[in-house]
Structure 1
């Protein structure tokens, strides 16, 4: 009885193409023979699949490599310039965007301030930014493959923002709106999740199995990576640890809770305390600390202690390898690090902190925007691999 069908063969070819492409993405430059050794696929199959990938503009030949005795092998690379992705970090008071190639390299970037939170105003600014980045894309076989956006709020699996307290938004169908505008695949996720992905893929989190990314900007969000996979919880809403209660009868929060961690350890908390000293933005505070202003340094230290208090709760619950502090406040590493570490040392269980490392984001305030671009790139690869 014959059981093999054309459909079976097509599926097998897709799977094998995916395996070959993955090998090139992760370990290039490679020869065809090396791909065969790595994947276990026979040389004839690899040769045919590589030719398909070359014909699809996804793989390029870059010339001869080192010979192991016979003819020099032709080496292969992934063609990162076959297409481009837009990544956006939609902050409470800014929009940050990048245009990245398919390897995540930044080709163009922009940033603009947001003076208002009203949806109509912000959406107009956001669309303008995306159009501007798309306009900077070089000609390529696949053009713009997608748009990824990180937002400071709770996002459902349809790309709708259910609740963004610091933007004062509820039930905004952002993915639908942008796909209507651009006719491109759009991925929306929480900004801290995007930041976690950015650091894991391109930053200080590379190769680390268990990591918690703490995004400290106007508010605080967290991206949780366990066993190298982003953990999103039962309904996709995990990571709202900025709304941990750290003061029982604390300040009221826009989320409806009281005493939330972000009210004491965020950029907003810093600015509230800095206002009597005549400061109203993070950049001036960083300059003042650098110039030796002891009052400002003391403010950063106090914020760092509160930051450490919340991180201690995270460490005691998740027992991660590393906690990565990112977003805008990561720029204050010099003035925060000692206080954060001291607070965590005092408050965590000894076995949990034994191998724990507290790091600051390698990408600093670029983690989320790079992660957002990665979402679009990843969705493109999934489409390519599955046909």
Structure 2
């Protein structure tokens, strides 16, 4: 390692130490990191000059009554990162500081701009957010993006069915409108990073994040690294089979190319099943409505909570399938924590106890099972985290 590389590595480590242990003095850093005091002082001075760190206040005097040390703090406002979560329905964008505090946010309907220029609209929204909040454009480090589909690290979206993208050169197209570095990954992978950075998977190195909405997908972090698989398609939990008899009876997916688990336990599948059973039951209060329109998964949970027998049957069956999927995945991956997110988990107080009961009963080793702490912001803050992890800068500690 060259002298310059060694210096940069020490500088990064000192910055990480300040971020994790602030308020902290130069002497304490030297003691923790086993680096000489003059070297620490020199590198801290550089970090202060570059505005990554600031000094504040006076610490406690030493027991010998010596000079009180000056404390150092990480400057979370030194730069800003844009986090974008592109969904089939909505595009959500935020500008965040380096600690994940959202300073500006914006969202718009995906379908309105899908054919007329999604990236052009994104660039326009970024410009508005920067201007409205008086942010210096030079302080924007770049952007992380979550996309609902299979992505390549080269910046190509292999396939995103809800956006009608096939081999779409996302980063190349984005660079036409935006002048800063951009990193992109699958939306569930990105949400997993968000939960690990700021949510219920903080300080955990082995994480399984499962998103249960219309479809079912998961993001896998092993030894602090995202596991993407040989063709970037790892974590497609929606394709798990949780009932072999169903497969023998000419199973048909709920949407073209959807998998078994999401076709029996996704939000759309729950609504479908409820609709069919309510139509077969003329005495049900929603019988007429079910004949006119499809009932939703949300309705199923609302009715189940009120004790509706048909809804309870539908919901309990879906929960069973999800539990079997969790057992299979956890047996294979042995994560420290499993985080559940997505639209279906809006009814988490109803779902979680039932899931835990089945999972704890069948799983050989216990696992922490939690819901997403970041909820709606898991995607955008995960995208910020993706940028910090992937972009080669002083704040990339991975």
Question: TM-score, normalization: structure 2?
Answer: 0.84
DSSP-derived class of the 2:318 partner: helix
TM-superposition CA deviations, 1:192-239 (whole Å, max 9, x none): 111111111100001223221001222121111122322222343322
Aligned counterpart, 2:283: none
Output aligned runs, 1:108-119, within 5 Å. 108-115=104-111, 118-119=114-115
Aligned counterpart, 2:252: 251
Output aligned runs, 1:294-333, within 5 Å. 296=311, 299-333=314-348
Aligned counterpart, 1:9: 3
User: Which structure 1 segments of 5+ residues have no match?
Assistant: 1-6
Quote the offset at 1:39 in angstroms. 1.3
> What is the CA–CA distance in structure 2 between the aligned matches of 1:37 and 1:264, rounded to whole Å?
57
Residue 231 of structure 1 pairs with residue 249 of structure 2 = no
Residue from 61, 70, 73 that aligns with 2:55: 61
Give the paired residue count.
374
TM-superposition CA deviations, 1:164-219 (whole Å, max 9, x none): 23333211111111122111111110111111111111000012232210012221
Residue 209 of structure 1 pairs with residue 205 of structure 2 = yes
Residue from 43, 49, 65 that aligns with 1:49: 43
Is the Cα contact below 8 Å between 1:96 and 1:369 reproduced in 2? yes
RMSD over aligned Cα atoms: 2.8
User: Which structure 2 segments of 5+ residues have no match?
Assistant: 279-285
C-alpha change, 1:307 and 1:56, in structure 2 (3 Å) is same
C-alpha change, 1:63 and 1:374, in structure 2 (3 Å) is same
Aligned counterpart, 1:269: 269
TM-superposition CA deviations, 1:18-54 (whole Å, max 9, x none): 1211211222111111111111111111111111111
> What is the CA–CA distance in structure 2 between the aligned matches of 1:140 and 1:58, rounded to whole Å?
16
Aligned counterpart, 1:383: 393
> What is the CA–CA distance in structure 2 between the aligned matches of 1:271 and 1:117, rounded to whole Å?
28
Residue 357 of structure 1 pairs with residue 372 of structure 2 = no
Is the Cα contact below 8 Å between 2:272 and 2:296 reproduced in 1? no
DSSP-derived class of the 2:71 partner: strand
Aligned counterpart, 1:3: none
> What is the CA–CA distance in structure 2 between the aligned matches of 1:82 and 1:368, rounded to whole Å?
23
Question: TM-score, normalization: structure 1?
Answer: 0.86
C-alpha change, 1:253 and 1:185, in structure 2 (3 Å) is farther
Aligned counterpart, 1:4: none
DSSP-derived class of the 1:182 partner: coil
C-alpha change, 1:94 and 1:287, in structure 2 (3 Å) is farther
DSSP-derived class of the 1:181 partner: coil
Is the Cα contact below 8 Å between 2:196 and 2:204 reproduced in 1? yes
DSSP-derived class of the 2:214 partner: coil
Is the Cα contact below 8 Å between 1:242 and 1:261 reproduced in 2? yes
Is the Cα contact below 8 Å between 1:100 and 1:106 reproduced in 2? yes
Quote the offset at 1:104 in angstroms. 1.2
Is the deviation greater in 274-283 or in 24-33?
Answer: 274-283
DSSP-derived class of the 2:260 partner: coil
Residue 26 of structure 1 pairs with residue 20 of structure 2 = yes
